[in-house]
Every structure is written in C-alpha cells, then in structure tokens.
Amino acid sequence: MATIFTRIINGEIPALKVYEDADTLAFLDIAPASPGHTLVICKNEVATLMELSDAQLLATARTTQRVAAALQKALQPDGINIMQNNGSAAGQTVFHYHVHLIPRWNDDGVIQFWQHKSMSQADFAEMVAKISQAL
C-alpha cells in the first residue's frame, strides 16, 4: 500500500507545495513544530536513508539545501533543524524517506527530543571498532 507521501505525489491528497522537481517534492508539514516546518521527500517510495540510491540521495540533498536557503531568506529564523529519522525507534512515522526542515528562533519553545549522553573512552573505542568493521 502506498504511503501518504506517495498519495501526495500522485495528487490523491492535497499538500501545500513549496518546491517540486522530477525527483523530489517539498511541502509544509500539516502538524508543524514551528512556522515554516517543511518536509522534503524523494519521489520514489523508499523507506529509509539506507535504501536510497546515490542519485536519490543527491537529489534529495540538493532540494533540502535549496529549500533551507529559501526558508532562511523568507522567514529569517535564528537557525534551522534539519532532521531525518530512520525506523520507528528514531521517530519515523511515515516509512517514505523524508527530511524535516524546522525553522528555529531563539526561545521559540520547540522541544529538542534528544539528550546528550556521556561515554567512557573504552566505550568510544568499542563503537569506533564496530562501526569501522561494518563499513
């Protein structure tokens, strides 16, 4: 079954589009974390970053950069969160690759959902070894 994003691409569900090209689509999030919260999606229905082809990744990254620059120019936020979630444990709710662009203003009340943790040098070394071996 097609995701809600594929249904938007196919014109079955309306969206507030801000940018579209052959490979990507950018539209306002209907439940924004802040004014201007925009989603950039790859038009091919691929669930996660790890499944994207190089061409899909490049196209989505280019559109993300273009739309982020437009948000900066149009809304003049103090910053922009650029977020991408993979899997339900990471907060992904629509399993169609997408990037969140969330304009931020100082003291805007938007909650950061992560908390930084400390690790020992031994734990860091173990993580480096595991990740390096997986490459």
Nearest to 20 by CA among 12, 32, 9: 9
Assess whether pLDDT exceeds 90 at residue 41.
yes
* Separation of alpha carbons 99 and 60, rounded Å: 8
Residue 75 to residues 7, 27, 62, 78, 85, Cα–Cα distance (Å): 29, 15, 20, 9, 24
∠ CA 75-5-66, rounded to 5°:
35
Assess whether pLDDT exceeds 90 at residue 31.
yes
Q: So what's the pLDDT on residue 47?
A: 97
* Residue spans per domain, the chain: 4-134
Q: So what's the pLDDT on residue 111?
A: 76
pLDDT digits (tens, 9 = 90+) for 89-101: 999 999 999 999 9
Q: Which residues are catalytic?
A: 98
pLDDT band at 114 (very low <50, low <70, confident <90, very high): low
Assigned CATH class of 4-134: alpha beta
Residue 98 to residues 20, 106, 125, 128, 132, Cα–Cα distance (Å): 14, 25, 32, 28, 27
Q: Are 68 and 82 in contact (CB under 8 A)?
A: yes
Of 43-52, 75-84, 101-110, 117-126, the range with the lowest mean pLDDT is 117-126
Q: So what's the pLDDT on residue 113?
A: 67
HSE toward the beta carbon, residue 48, CA cutoff 13 A: 10
69 CB burial (10 A radius; 0-12, 13-18, 19+): exposed
**Average pLDDT score over residue span 9-34:** 97
Assess whether pLDDT exceeds 80 at residue 44.
yes
- Write down the pTM of the prediction: 0.90
Would you give the distance in Å from CA 9 to the centre of its chain? 17
